[in-house]
């Protein structure tokens, strides 16, 4: 590495930072101008005065808000790589696009098509790249660089790349934009229409792939996705907090991040289900129960009192119109077959009645009545009575009340779908819904009416998707519509009672039949010594996934055994704090509550219940009493076979440098080597 070249790069980086500051100053000026015009546009106008274009001012003022956030100085290096092409051109690759005074790019956004060459070029497939440079950085300061001359066949085992991967964690998750691997880059850059399902072993970067894919899609499909939106669905609020800082560093601040509980309001549910009731309510068969509970209200013309002799007699002023049994039955059958929602079907039958009467009116009067006349026909006592008997008005609250409170109705809705014992678990008070009741409510509402198009997203990234129940998947599917999804997870880390057994089933529940499946098995985050311990547990989880392999030969694994568990934890934490980075203490939920006073106020230490550890990572992890994690009951007090062991598998794979196992009892058989 030439010192002169390094100084030139440092100077180039300083210039890029100055240019970005100038871009921010210009954007702030635009914001002030248009925000001021919008504020003044409605003030002090006399009769006949013409104000500024208020809508344009509002649009420009709002356009500049996310751009200002994008141009914020976040104390990180603006670029991390550089490529020289065969034609002599060279490009710095960074987190956002930066142009100079002549509008020439001095930093190319990592999401731009040309940046793909930086990530994918190799001595075997140069992709017109002659030389690649990787920069080392500390915060916003460049510290060095490494070069690979691909023309000469140089392929360097990058110390900079290794150092960045192994850099200690000092807070929430950070981006991996400087260390994206070729197989990860290929997934990130799949086109917007692709439904992608990624099975990823611990430490393979699947979460990072999903977040970077969201940023890449918004950059390359701006017109489509800025309007329809991108949604990130995570397993819990702690996980969302952990990943919240990634997208802003990648130039995106417009992505909505939520949980499936928040989508339905289930996070506010005051009541709770028994374990058995929750299992039934999350089961995919409940979708059929909901369908029958809604559409079972549709009757036949005979239910409306119509006979072959009498028909439906409609009084219209001095006129009398009659519609026959066959016509009405055909109208009901057609509506049931050709409408997607109950409300639309009811309207279709009403329209058919009006159309039938209109034909008679045209024949007898010689002219076609207007729309007001049609509305009047619908409101006649005869039509209203017929519709109430054959296709009554419904709302979600009414259907839920009948399903939960009317045994006869519930028996009809569940017959042949649930057992009598399972059906009885639905009995209750829907006025105090549980989280699972809100899933059922969402399903019923979907049968009653179409969702507002503004509630759908162009692309949804779903992380830890293996833990979603069929009914939760259906909630997300309704927010996807015709959009695409990126589904991320690990079947081995499925820890809910309804965790997925296969990705094919999970994608079916998500409403996607055209799917690209891929599996990531190469770990970059978790050292090999820790992965090997976890791989010993993997065969006992009874899932069809490949074991992970790690490229990292560093890291450490220690066991602390003794009768005083609290003392062992304190000793392990004290030792861990001698090294850099975050320390995570993971224990069974009940044990975590006991340990909390012991660790309160300790800097760089986070205590995590095993049930909430998924998706998190720490430099050093202390796993406390593994057998308690295996034996711990699920939510609701029930012990679900295999779930505790999966919680242990998750806990063992949260460390990116060092793992200490503290125990007083004998280790679970699955951990013994």
* pLDDT 10s digits, 144-195: 898 999 998 877 666 666 666 656 555 556 667 878 888 899 999 999 999 9
pTM over 0.95: no
For residue 324, what pLDDT is reported? 95
N-terminal to C-terminal alpha carbon distance within the chain: 46
What is d(CA 656, CA 636) in angstroms, rounded to the nearest whole number? 32
For residue 50, what pLDDT is reported? 44
Left, alpha or beta for 128 (phi > 0: left; psi -120 to 50: alpha)? Answer: left
Instruction: Report helix angle 528-537 to 643-652, nearest 10.
Output: 170
Picking from 46-55, 247-256, 387-396, which range would have the lowest pLDDT averaged per residue?
A: 46-55
Three-state DSSP class for residue 673:
coil
Evaluate whether 519 touches 495 at the Cβ level (below 8 Å). Answer: no
| Mean pLDDT, residues 597-621 taken together | 91
Local confidence band at 29 (pLDDT 50, 70, 90 cut-offs): confident
Q: Is 637 exposed, middle or buried (0-12, 13-18, 19+ CB in 10 A)?
A: exposed
Is the alpha carbon torsion for 167, 169, 175, 180 positive or negative?
Answer: positive
Mean pLDDT of the residues in the chain: 88
Evaluate whether 213 touches 486 at the Cβ level (below 8 Å). Answer: yes
Q: Which strands form 79-85's sheet, in the order they lie side by side?
A: 98-99, 105-109, 90-94, 79-85, 129-138, 141-149
For residue 45, what pLDDT is reported? 47
Question: How distant, in Å, are the alpha carbons of 253, 278, 667, 671 from that of 584?
Answer: 29, 31, 20, 20
| Mean pLDDT, residues 390-403 taken together | 96
Evaluate whether 473 touches 197 at the Cβ level (below 8 Å). Answer: no
Residue 23 scores a pLDDT above 90 = no
Tokens of 439: 């899933």
Local confidence band at 634 (pLDDT 50, 70, 90 cut-offs): low
Strands 655-663, 618-624: pairing kind: parallel
For residue 157, what pLDDT is reported? 67
Residue 51 scores a pLDDT above 60 = no
> ∠ CA(639), CA(645), CA(648), 5° rounding?
120
Q: Is 257 exposed, middle or buried (0-12, 13-18, 19+ CB in 10 A)?
A: buried
For residue 34, what pLDDT is reported? 63
For residue 203, what pLDDT is reported? 85
What is d(CA 152, CA 72) in angstroms, rounded to the nearest whole number? 40
Evaluate whether 333 touches 339 at the Cβ level (below 8 Å). Answer: no
């Amino acid at each position: 590495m030439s010192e002169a070249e390094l100084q030139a790069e440092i100077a180039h980086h300083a210039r890029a930072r100055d240019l970005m500051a100038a871009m921010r100053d210009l954007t702030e000026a635009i914001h002030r101008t248009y925000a001021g015009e919008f504020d003044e546009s409605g003030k002090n106008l006399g009769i006949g005065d013409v104000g500024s274009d208020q809508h344009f001012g509002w649009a420009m003022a709002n356009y500049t808000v996310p751009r200002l956030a994008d141009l914020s100085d976040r104390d990180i290096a603006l670029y991390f790589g550089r490529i020289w092409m065969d034609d002599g051109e060279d490009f710095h690759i960074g987190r956002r696009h930066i142009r100079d005074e002549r509008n020439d790019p001095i930093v190319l956004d990592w999401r731009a098509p040309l940046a793909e060459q930086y990530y994918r070029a190799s001595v075997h497939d140069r992709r017109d790249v002659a030389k690649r440079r990787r920069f080392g950085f500390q915060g916003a300061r460049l510290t060095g660089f490494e070069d690979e001359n691909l023309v000469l066949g140089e392929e360097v085992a990058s110390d900079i790349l290794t150092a960045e991967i192994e850099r200690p964690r000092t807070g929430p998750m950070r981006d991996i934009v400087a260390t994206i691997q070729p197989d990860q880059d290929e997934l990130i850059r799949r086109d917007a229409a692709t439904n992608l399902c990624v099975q990823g072993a611990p430490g393979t970067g699947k979460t990072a792939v999903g977040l970077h894919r969201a940023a890449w899609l918004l950059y390359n499909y701006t017109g489509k996705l800025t309007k329809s939106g991108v949604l990130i669905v995570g397993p819990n609020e702690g996980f969302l907090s952990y990943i919240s800082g990634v997208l802003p560093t990648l130039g995106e601040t417009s992505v909505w991040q939520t949980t499936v509980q928040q989508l339905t309001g289930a996070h506010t549910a005051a009541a709770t289900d028994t374990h058995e009731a929750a299992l039934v309510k999350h089961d995919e068969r409940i979708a059929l129960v909901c369908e029958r509970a809604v559409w079972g209200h549709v009757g036949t013309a005979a239910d409306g009192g119509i006979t072959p002799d009498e028909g439906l007699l409609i009084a219209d002023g001095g006129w009398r119109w009659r519609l026959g049994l066959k016509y009405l039955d055909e109208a009901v059958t057609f509506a049931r077959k050709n409408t997607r929602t109950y409300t639309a079907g009811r309207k279709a039958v009403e329209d058919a009645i009006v159309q039938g009467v209109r034909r008679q009116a045209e024949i007898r009067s010689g002219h076609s009545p207007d729309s007001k006349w049609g509305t009047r026909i619908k409101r006649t006592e005869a039509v209203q009575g017929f519709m109430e008997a054959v296709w009554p008005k419904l709302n979600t609250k009414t259907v839920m009340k009948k399903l939960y409170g009317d045994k006869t109705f519930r028996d009809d809705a569940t017959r042949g779908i649930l057992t009598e014992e399972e059906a009885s678990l639905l009995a209750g008070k829907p006025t105090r819904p549980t989280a699972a009741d809100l899933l059922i409510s969402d399903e019923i509402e979907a049968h009653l009416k179409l969702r507002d198009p503004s509630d759908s997203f162009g692309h949804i990234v779903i992380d830890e998707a293996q833990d979603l129940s069929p009914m939760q998947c259906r909630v997300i599917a309704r927010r996807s519509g015709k959009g695409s999804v990126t589904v991320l997870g690990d079947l081995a880390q499925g820890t809910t009672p309804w965790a997925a057994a296969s990705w094919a089933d999970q994608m079916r529940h998500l409403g996607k039949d055209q799917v690209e499946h891929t599996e990531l098995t190469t770990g970059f985050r978790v050292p090999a010594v820790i992965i090997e311990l976890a791989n010993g547990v993997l065969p006992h989880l009874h899932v069809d996934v490949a074991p992970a392999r790690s490229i990292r030969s560093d890291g450490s694994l220690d066991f602390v055994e003794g009768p005083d568990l609290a003392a062992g934890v304190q000793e392990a934490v004290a030792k861990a704090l001698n090294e850099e980075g975050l320390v995570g203490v993971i224990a069974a939920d009940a044990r975590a509550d006991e340990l909390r006073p012991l660790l309160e106020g300790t800097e760089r230490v986070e205590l995590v219940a095993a049930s909430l550890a998924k998706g998190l990572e720490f430099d050093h992890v202390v796993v406390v009493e593994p057998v308690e994690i295996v034996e711990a009951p699920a939510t609701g007090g029930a012990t679900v076979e295999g779930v505790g062991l999966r919680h242990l598998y998750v806990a063992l794979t949260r460390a990116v440098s060092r793992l200490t196992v503290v125990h007083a009892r004998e280790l679970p058989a699955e951990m013994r080597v």
